[in-house]
Amino acid sequence: MEQLNDDTSCHSYNEKYDSLTNLLKYEYFFSNLKNIIEANRNNPDFRLAIVYSDIRHFKYLNDTFGYNRGDELIRMYSDFTKVQHPSYLGTCRVYSDNFIIAANIGKMSEDDFYKEVDKRNKYFEDFIKPYFANRRVMLNTGAYVLRDTFNEDLETAISNANYARKESKKFNTDKCVQFSDEMMNDIIFKMEISALFPKAIETQEIKVFFQPKVDSSTRKIIGAEALVRWIKPDGTFVYPDQFIPLFESNGMVVDLDYFVYNEVFKYIRTRLDLGLKVVPISMNISRVHFKDDELMAFIENLLREYKIPTKYIEFELTESIYINSIESVLPFVNKMRSLGIKISMDDFGSGYSSLNLLNNLPIDVLKLDKAFLSNDDLSKNQRIIISCVISMAKQLDIKVLCEGVENKLQSDFLSNAGCDMFQGYYFSKPICENDFNQYMTSNRSN
């Protein structure tokens, strides 16, 4: 079986090979693999498969056992991938713990090939276990068998295998996930959505909806959260879970958020100019914003342009942003609060909450995640946990808003527990601007 060659006549060893694993660097792996494909053009039994893997929770293993052990794990996996196999063509480490294996599966069926990958992964996972205090080390693996080896784009094939690897993380499985037609359709859909987004902003297909927040005592509206909706000309929706995670991954969420912020500021300014009732409106902030320093300047420009009293503005940051980006978040939070803008922690309790966050972070509002209200009839444990969180927040002088309130039983319990504000379908779903205006008129705040 022809394999990726190690000709070093034109390039120094260090330039061509990864120093940690002694595997070919990606660009040389890619170039040599293309040469192998071309050399086998007349071989009817040549069928290329790409296997893309990483080590699950590698960062955690690094932090727990130390970086030297992490490097050792990477070297052990790279040595494992180089164990000779009839179909083996070569391996490269793309970066960190990400590896690509190329194989010629010949006349083997795809099902048998995937079983072989699972078998080899299981062997490695069992082999490595004693080296990490018998803690199970698992692989995330995706694979793609080219349908037309000699005419398909190799970079796309590798990308397909990588996409399948990412899907394996969602499925939380150590089984090899094969790239499928459904995944291809998903990729095409995401490409189309990304391409259509700028035009959708221009043609006002992207709209800001508002979900009212009500006072727990009076049941009167005291605020709202701005949410984005994408409504196509034919009336069909592109749902938020179809485009927001995508835009967070490709960075387009920054433009989406800036659009929402501008629309909200413009809306409040219009209401003020007409002498109409205005309530504070909260807007969500993505973690992507904290990769640069533009967010603060953008908001300050909006304040100058629209001259909005800051008491009408609130920003929501998820609990996970606080936990994972604390150093970059704190300056922003402190600056906003110094301007009189309220800051809320969204989705509190949706992940691994750190109660110490409440002690160390300057926040005005704690939004209890709707997961706390997962049952219509609250269990004893749910009631205890909710009551304790509300009591703790009040002692820290933090207002509490519970989202996902869907019935009278929940709202009555939360009122008695001391929750300050509600948000949920029991009071109103997210509604368009005109409906929100009517809601404010019929449900006047004090």
Residue 330, token pair as written in the block: 């704190």
The answer to whether 426 and 403 are in contact (CB under 8 A) is no
* Residue 175 amino acid letter: K
Cα distances (Å, whole numbers) of residue 419 to 10, 341, 405: 70, 21, 12
Q: Kindly list the domain boundaries of the chain, sorted by start residue.
A: 13-179, 200-442
CA dihedral sign, ordered 355, 361, 365, 370 = negative
Cβ pair 401, 421 in contact under 8 A = yes
The helices-and-strands tally (H runs, E runs) of the chain is: 16, 14
CB of 24 within 8 A of CB of 32?
A: yes
CA dist 289 and 26 (Å) reads 30
Pick the CATH number of 13-179 from 1.10.3190.10, 3.30.70.270, 3.30.70.20, 1.10.1040.10: 3.30.70.270
Q: What are the tens digits of pLDDT across the range 156-165?
A: 999 999 999 9
Closest CA to 318 of 244, 215, 396, 395: 244
Q: What are the two backbone dihedrals, phi and then psi, of residue 209, each rounded to the nearest 5 degrees? A: -105, 165
Yes or no: domain 200-442 corresponds to CATH 3.20.20.450: yes
Distance CA 183, CA 159 (A): 11
Query: What is each CA distance from 96 to 14, 29, 144, in whole angstroms?
Result: 17, 16, 21
3-state secondary structure of 424: coil
Q: Give the whole-angstrom CA distance, residue 336 versus residue 299.
A: 9
Mark the ranges of the chain whose per-residue pLDDT is less than 70.
1-11, 84, 86, 349-357, 374-377, 444-446
How many Å apart are CA 74 and CA 251, to the nearest integer?
30
Q: Are 203 and 401 in contact (CB under 8 A)?
A: no
- Residue 30 per-residue DSSP state: H
The distance in angstroms from the start CA to the end CA of the chain is 80
Residue 191, H or E segment: helix 181-202
At 342-396, the pLDDT tens digits run 999 887 866 555 566 677 778 899 998 777 776 666 778 878 888 988 998 888 8
What backbone phi and psi angles, to 5 degrees, belong to 366?
A: -110, 120
Place of tokens 């909200």: 264
For the CA atoms of 307, 286, 372, 422, the dihedral, rounded to the nearest 10 degrees, stands at 10
Q: What is the pLDDT of residue 374?
A: 66
